[in-house]
A and B are shown apart, each in its own frame.
Chain A
Amino acid sequence: DAMVIQNPRYQVTQFGKPVTLSCSQTLNHNVMYWYQQKSSQAPKLLFHYYDKDFNNEADTPDNFQSRRPNTSFCFLDIRSPGLGDAAMYLCATSKGGGSNEKLFFGSGTQLSVL
């Protein structure tokens, strides 16, 4: 019954070793988001796709990239993870981008960097 699915639930990588996090959705929503959430902090938007239109937040490091090959899937690539990139990464979707839209979140991927 899961609508936004993130894999894996836990990911361990080494300092500097590229890692990819996956997100899929069964809602057929137009918008997909990636958030970073560090311990005891609010989720921070990294970027989002409105259909195929990529929108990067101004303060998202270049180390973070994203791909959306089709409506259902979206990937977060961290090219050279640093210790400071250890966090929960949340994928979310919404039907549109308006104020009355609702965000649907996955369970997140907890990334550890050794």
Chain B
Amino acid sequence: LAKTTQPISMDSYEGQEVNITCSHNNIATNDYITWYQQFPSQGPRFIIQGYKTKVTNEVASLFIPADRKSSTLSLPRVSLSDTAVYYCLVGDIGNKAAGNKLTFGGGTRVLVKP
């Protein structure tokens, strides 16, 4: 099971780009990298997922270097409503055969200021 390490918190301002890097040195060959966003008093919400190189969707981009030992979530032009905790998850989430299940790391608390 790949353990993930993220910064505890980041501050930004409206309109800026926010980049959050997650380290996962023990990532397995078959592991995908998935990011979730969580607002206070709500369940986490899927943002983006990738395996290698770059993935982009309507809310974020995910950059994964060739060695896949880290990944960077990029939030373009953040607004106040992007203030949330962002979690990076790597590995099987509920596969009993895998012997272990995905656990959430500490997450990164992003505060967007006016």
User: Which A residues form the contact surface with B (CB < 8 A)?
Assistant: 4, 31, 33, 35, 42-45, 48, 50, 53, 55, 57, 88, 90-92, 94, 96-108, 110
Selected from A57, A101, A103, the residue in CB contact (under 8 A) with B44 is A103
A43 touches B44 (CB 8 A): yes
9-residue interface stretch from B10-18, B52-60, B71-79, B87-95: B87-95
The answer to whether A43 and B104 touch (CB under 8 A), given A94-B94, A97-B95, is yes
A99 touches B30 (CB 8 A): yes
Q: How many residues of B contact A (CB 8 A)?
A: 30
In this complex, which of A91, A94, A105 has the most chain B Cβ atoms within 10 angstroms of its Cβ? A105
- Alpha-carbon distance A99/B34, docked complex (angstroms): 9
Selected from B30, B103, B106, the residue in CB contact (under 8 A) with A45 is B103
The secondary structure that dominates the B interface is loop
Selected from B34, B51, B103, the residue in CB contact (under 8 A) with A102 is B34
* Contacting residues of chain B (31-54) with chain A, CB-CB under 8 angstroms: 31-32, 34, 36, 41-46, 49, 51
- Alpha-carbon distance A48/B103, docked complex (angstroms): 12
What would 25 A/B residue contacts be, using CB atoms closer than 8 Å?
A4-B43, A33-B94, A35-B104, A42-B107, A43-B44, A44-B103, A44-B104, A45-B101, A48-B94, A50-B95, A50-B96, A55-B96, A91-B43, A92-B43, A94-B93, A97-B92, A99-B32, A101-B94, A102-B34, A102-B49, A103-B36, A103-B93, A105-B43, A107-B42, A108-B43
